[in-house]
Structure 1
């Protein structure tokens, strides 16, 4: 009788030990993942403290192999994988605004999916495909990109640190152990 109880006890302990070990080796085991983010949707520009209040604008006199793009009865130019406007005999780097359309995406764009929608991102500008063109859009809050343009600026809003480029606010986050940036809002004028 004692041997039956011992065998039963060893079998029960063996099953418990195997099931515990099997769960520890399971890749699909649920892990608690807590991320604290400050959600911002629309922020007035007057509430934002820019680290460098004035940016230096670099202009060029000529653009080789430029392509003319008409938008709202104004000419814009695409050359060297950047957009430009023309003023006073100089070409000024231009960040296309929402609604700007082009037939081709710049070289080096990255496709980002959010809420089952593909976005095409190049140098901080978000495009979505409409008919046979690509239109500049405001990204949805929560969209994540792996890097920001060189010209992105660190800003302070209500004591929190964010990054701004082309009126879009980003928060630095970690995704799979790598640095990324999540869209948290858009600057209002």
Structure 2
């Protein structure tokens, strides 16, 4: 009987123990491998966008490199069209928007919600997320029925030039470009310099 135990039972128990240990190591190895996968996914998600700017940026976090903005005004605006927005009249001519103050017309960045019936001839169409945006000197339009409404572009929208009167700003130590409260970051697209929309400044 002792011989039987030594020659059959003990080797069988040894084999079962080894198999159990191997199985346990295999399970532990599998669990360990899932950790870097999860870590990789997290890193990919957080590093998809290079910039630290989020969708909405409080204006108090934005520092302009120039202390004051140059104000452009003219005495007359020929062939102007009146744009009424929130019970206030604005004026549109020569692809620019104006407000009137003390007998002069002051160039302003268009407000979200302004509508025009005809796009300026120098617009550029930008396809992004199944939308056709029309960009004119930093102003983005979407077609609404038979009109074109000024809208905020989505984060990730790319343009290849900025308006002449853009401004440089700093947010959390990083530099960006701003026009009409839209924030841009300089990027490279197929070796070409471009500017990607990374956020919008909330004006308080």
Interval containing the TM-score (normalised by the shorter chain): 0.7 to 0.9
Q: Secondary structure at the match of 1:98?
A: coil
Query: Aligned pairs, how many?
Result: 156
How far 1:179 moved relative to its partner? 0.4
Match of 2:167 among 144, 148, 153: 153
Q: Does the CA-based 8 Å contact 2:83-2:114 persist in structure 1?
A: no
TM-score by length of 2: 0.72
Per the alignment, residue 101 of structure 1 pairs with 115
Aligned to 1:74: 88
Normalising by the residue count of structure 1, what TM-score does the alignment of the two structures yield?
Answer: 0.78
CA deviation map 1:12-68 (0-9, x unaligned): xxxxxxxxxxxxxxxxxxxxxx98611421111111111102012121111122222
* Divergent runs of 4+, >3 A: none
Where do 1:147-186 residues align within 5 Å? Answer: 147-186=161-200
1:173 shift after superposition: 0.1
Alpha-carbon distance in 2 for matches of 1:138, 1:36:
19
Aligned partner of residue 170 in structure 1, secondary structure: strand
Structure-2 residue corresponding to 1:6: none
Q: Secondary structure at the match of 1:46?
A: helix
Match of 2:17 in 1: none
SS in 1 for 2:60: helix
Q: Verify: 1:51 aligned to 2:57, yes or no.
A: no
CA distance in structure 2 between the partners assigned to 1:79 and 1:36 by the alignment? 37
Which of the two has higher C-alpha Rg? 2
